[in-house]
Structure 1
């Protein structure tokens, strides 16, 4: 996948954990453009996350309308900042001292924050070797045959059991590219898949190279 997609670049500056948490909550069940616009609207409206503590929930919902599921997402964001602010921990610097298991358990203790959102904080904000699993990563890993799990949460646990050091960012990012552009939910384009020869998906189409070989064998006969 690195040969096909390249090595994904990292942000020059690590995003603050709370910023990434809020951005990832907004990204749930919507596209990147909508979630980004909702996040920017939130930042323009509230220059400091502490302002969200006293902000009316309806006002937050209106501000993030572009991201959809406004009741659910506004509630999760409000709950997060209220609890962090109450303990004077809104900068979330303390999380850097936690190991991966502790950090995941702490973050998922908040309403509306699941394992995918929490693991995104570990990968993108703390630069930990943790591979988040969304629907694209779940689908591709199961089709390839690396795991055989029914849910993204179970795929996450399996894939991160013995993940080689230093590959999480590249693996996660390139699997998403693979899942969005090639290994689509319906009508996957196996003919251009860079790992088709390794894939165990029973319904995969023959690659171009395989078709060429079959044609040559037929002519030779």
Structure 2
């Protein structure tokens, strides 16, 4: 994929993704406009389907919509509220500890720095970037497994890890696409550009895609 094709690619993605559901964390960010809600829903979302994340987050936020309210709950209560999210007991402990740290060190306010966010247990670069972009409205590139896989499949970058992909994208992806690329490629990756046997016959981007690593398609 040539660098100059990225504008065409992103325009096609925006058109195509209108037919699919918006990722749950993005929906939550639009509903609450709160970095705290984005952070907690990101923790819940790891290795969990979007529908489960949305329902679990809604139950939890109905009971506790702030760090102050969250620490009044027992971790077992948090776990019950976010069940059946994957690793719900571990996530309940992480959410509780994050809230304690927010109150003890940040006056209950989610920091707007990648470096500070990475100090919280359970927060990696993907979550930190989502909090920065969706929660604080700051520039950032959230690289989850879909963004990593698809941008490398295109041949737009060549990286072995999501963190490496993020750094390469920061160096070449036009600023206007930094925030939106995650939503678009999550939708595309879940509904068409699958990890194994992507639906290339239905893809409008085949002329731009180098199909790196694709051994079979449908």
TM-score by length of 2: 0.80
Does residue 193 of structure 2 align to residue 179 of structure 1? no
Secondary structure at the residue paired with 2:67?
coil
Mark the runs of 5 or more structure 2 residues left unpaired by the alignment: 1-9
Which residue of the partner structure matches residue 213 of structure 1? Answer: none
Which residue of the partner structure matches residue 2 of structure 1? Answer: 11
Which residue of the partner structure matches residue 217 of structure 1? Answer: none
Moved over 6 A (4+): 7-14, 204-207
Task: Give the drift of 1:39.
Answer: 0.7
Structure 1 residues 88, 12: CA separation in 2 closer, same or farther (over 3 Å shift)?
A: closer
Which residue of the partner structure matches residue 117 of structure 2? Answer: 107
Which residue of the partner structure matches residue 50 of structure 1? Answer: 68
Secondary structure at the residue paired with 1:198?
coil
Query: How is 1:3-152 mapped onto 2 (pairs within 5 angstroms)?
Result: 3-6=12-15, 15-87=33-105, 89-92=107-110, 95=112, 103-152=113-162
Secondary structure at the residue paired with 1:161?
helix
Q: Distance in 1 between matches of 2:82 and 2:97?
A: 15
Q: Structure 1 residues 132-141 or 196-205, which shifts more?
A: 196-205
Structure 1 residues 154, 85: CA separation in 2 closer, same or farther (over 3 Å shift)?
A: same
Task: Give the drift of 1:69.
Answer: 0.6
Structure 1 residues 206, 87: CA separation in 2 closer, same or farther (over 3 Å shift)?
A: closer
Task: Give the drift of 1:114.
Answer: 0.5
Task: Give the drift of 1:146.
Answer: 1.4
**Among candidates 176, 180, 183, match of residue 170 of structure 1:** 180
TM-score by length of 1: 0.79
What do you get for the CA RMSD once the two structures are aligned? 2.5
Task: Give the drift of 1:24.
Answer: 0.7
Does residue 169 of structure 2 align to residue 159 of structure 1? yes
Secondary structure at the residue paired with 2:109?
coil
| Count of aligned positions | 199
Secondary structure at the residue paired with 1:185?
coil
CA deviations 1:80-138 (Å, max 9, x no partner) are 1001112352133x62xxxxxxx111101100001000000111122223221111111
